[in-house]
A = this chain, B = another copy of it.
C-alpha cells in the first residue's frame, strides 16, 4: 500500500480456494492492516460494485478514505491507474465571510482559495437574527440552503479555475463557531443563546455530503469541526490544530480576536480555553470601529521620529477613506508615544495642537482633513472612540492576565509562542499592541500571525488522518474556563486601562 493521507494505493491478495473470504471482507482486511486500525467501514452503496471493480483492476485499487469517530470509512474505490485529481474542500464558515480552499488530497497541495460573503447575512447580518429565523424547520432549511448553495457555486468556480469538476471532490471539512456550524448544518440553534446555553449538538459525526445538499462526489463525506460549548466552537478547535498547540512541549497561547476574544493556552499535556463572556468592552471597541480592509483604508500609522508627524499608510496607497482595527492600534500607539494622548488615554490638547477638533462637543483628533480624504469628509478619532479602544485593549490584557497568570500560574515570559489568529489579528503590529498595553511585553519574535486558522485547520484535517483523532482528543480534554467579570477582574481591568498599564514595570520595552 502506497500513498498517505486519505488516498491509498492498495493491492489485495487474490482469492483462492484456501483464501476465500468475501470481496468486501478482503478489502476490509487489507485496509485494516494497511491503516493499522481495528475497523474499516465500507458503505453499502459501494458493495455491489466491488466484485466487478476488483476483478477488472486485478485486485488493485486507489482507495479514497475518510474518518468518523468510530473508524476509517471507504468513500470510493478508483481504478489504480486513475490519474484524475482527488480533491477535498476546506471551508471556513464565517458569520460574514466564507472561505473555501481546494486541496489535492494525494499531495496535500492547496490548489486555490476563494472567499465570498455568507449569504445568510440576507436573513440577518448578526447571528441572533439568524438563530431566531432558525426556530422553524423551514427557516433552518432556508439558512442551510443559502450557505450551501453559495458554497456549491463557488466550488464549481474554484474547480473550473483549476480545470477540475466538483464530482472529483470527495471530502469536505468545515469549521465555524457553534452557532454558524448549527446554521450551516440546518440545525436548531436557539439553545445556544438562552440560558443555560445548550447547543443542539457538539459532535456531528462525519456525514454524507448529500445530507447537506453539497454537490460533490455522490458518496462524498463532510466533517464539521465539533463544538465544545455554545461559546467555544469548531473554529477554535481548527485553530488549535493549525497552531499545533496540542503538540507543543512548552506552553503557548493562541488569541483569536473576532467579535469575541477567544484564547487557548497550553501544550501537549494540557490545554485551557476561555472565550466570549468578558469581551463586551472588546466587542464594542476595536472590532466596532475597525473598518473591513479595502482600498483607501488606513492600515498602518507611524510617527516620524524627527518631526513627530503621523505617517499614514492606506491599502492600495489610495486616498484615505477610514481606518481598520490594526490601523487603530497603530494610531493609538503613535498618539501615545508622541505624547498626544496621556497614560489615561485622554487627548492632550497642547500636544495635538491644530489637530484637536470636536465632534458633537466631544474632543476629537483629526487624522485626515476633509480635503485630503477619499470621501471628502475628515477622518477623526473622538475621545469616545479612544475610550472604547482603551476599554478594549484593557479587556484583552486583563483576559490574558487572568488566564495566563491567575489560572495557569504562568508568567507571560513562559509563553514560547504567542499566536495571533483571525482576520483582524493578522494585521496587528505587535509592537504597537505592546506599546498601548494590549498585548504583554514579550519579545516580538515570539508573536506569530496565523491568519485564517479555521481554514488552515480544516485543510489539515483533510490531508492528515491523525488530525481527526487530535481534534477529538483535544475536544475531550480541553478545560473551558468560564471567565467571571467579578471584583477581581474589574480591579485588574482598571489597572490595564492605563497606557501601557498602571504598573509600568510590566512593560519595560515601552519608552515614552
Q: Hey, which bits of chain A sit against chain B, CB under 8 A? A: 15-17, 19-26, 39, 41, 44, 47-48, 50-52, 69-71, 137, 140, 186-188, 190-191, 195-205, 207, 211, 227, 229-230
Contacts and interface: CB of A to CB of B under 8 A. Distances in A.
A303 to B, nearest CB: 48
Nearest to A195: B17
A227 B39 CA distance: 18
A211 B48 CA distance: 13
Given A20-B229, A39-B70, A230-B20, A47 B204 contact: yes
A48 B138 CA distance: 12
Contacts of A204: 24, 44, 47
Given A21-B229, A23-B199, A44-B207, 4 more contacts: A22-B199, A39-B69, A39-B70, A48-B140
Nearest to A188: B51
B197 A227 contact: no
A199 B207 CA distance: 28
Contacts of A201: 22-25, 47, 50
A95 B368 CA distance: 88
Count copies of this chain in the complex.
Answer: 2
B227 A22 contact: yes
A442 B69 CA distance: 53
B47 A70 contact: no
Contacts of A48: 137, 140, 186-188, 200
B15 A50 contact: no
Contact of A52 (B16, B188, B196): B188
30 contacts: A15-B198, A17-B195, A17-B196, A17-B197, A20-B198, A20-B230, A22-B199, A22-B202, A22-B203, A23-B198, A23-B199, A23-B200, A24-B201, A24-B202, A24-B203, A25-B201, A25-B202, A25-B203, A26-B198, A39-B69, A39-B70, A41-B70, A44-B204, A47-B204, A48-B188, A50-B201, A51-B191, A51-B198, A52-B188, A70-B71
Nearest to A227: B22
Looking at chain A's contact residues, is the secondary structure mostly helix, strand, loop, or mixed?
A: loop
A19 B197 CA distance: 10
A53 B140 CA distance: 17
A475 to B, nearest CB: 10
Given A47-B201, A50-B200, A191 B23 contact: yes
A106 to B, nearest CB: 28
Nearest to A140: B48
A83 to B, nearest CB: 27
Closest 4 CB pairs of A and B: A24-B201, A22-B202, A22-B199, A70-B70
A189 to B, nearest CB: 9
Which has the most chain B C-beta neighbours within 10 Å: A16, A22, A200, A203? A22
A205 B48 CA distance: 14
A25 B17 CA distance: 47
Contacts of A196: 15-17, 19-20
Contacts of A190: 51
Contact of A47 (B17, B26, B200, B230): B200
A205 B19 CA distance: 22
A197 B20 contact: yes
A92 B230 CA distance: 49
Contacts of A50: 200-201
A284 to B, nearest CB: 25
A46 to B, nearest CB: 10
Nearest to A230: B20
Contacts of A25: 201-203
A69 B203 CA distance: 21
A44 to B, nearest CB: 5
A190 B230 CA distance: 53
Nearest to A48: B187
Contacts of A21: 198, 202, 229
Contacts of A199: 22-23
A451 to B, nearest CB: 29
Nearest to A47: B201
A137 to B, nearest CB: 7
Contacts of A19: 196
Nearest to A134: B48
Which has the most chain B C-beta neighbours within 10 Å: A16, A26, A188? A188
Which has the most chain B C-beta neighbours within 10 Å: A39, A203, A227, A230? A203
Nearest to A196: B17
Contacts of A26: 198
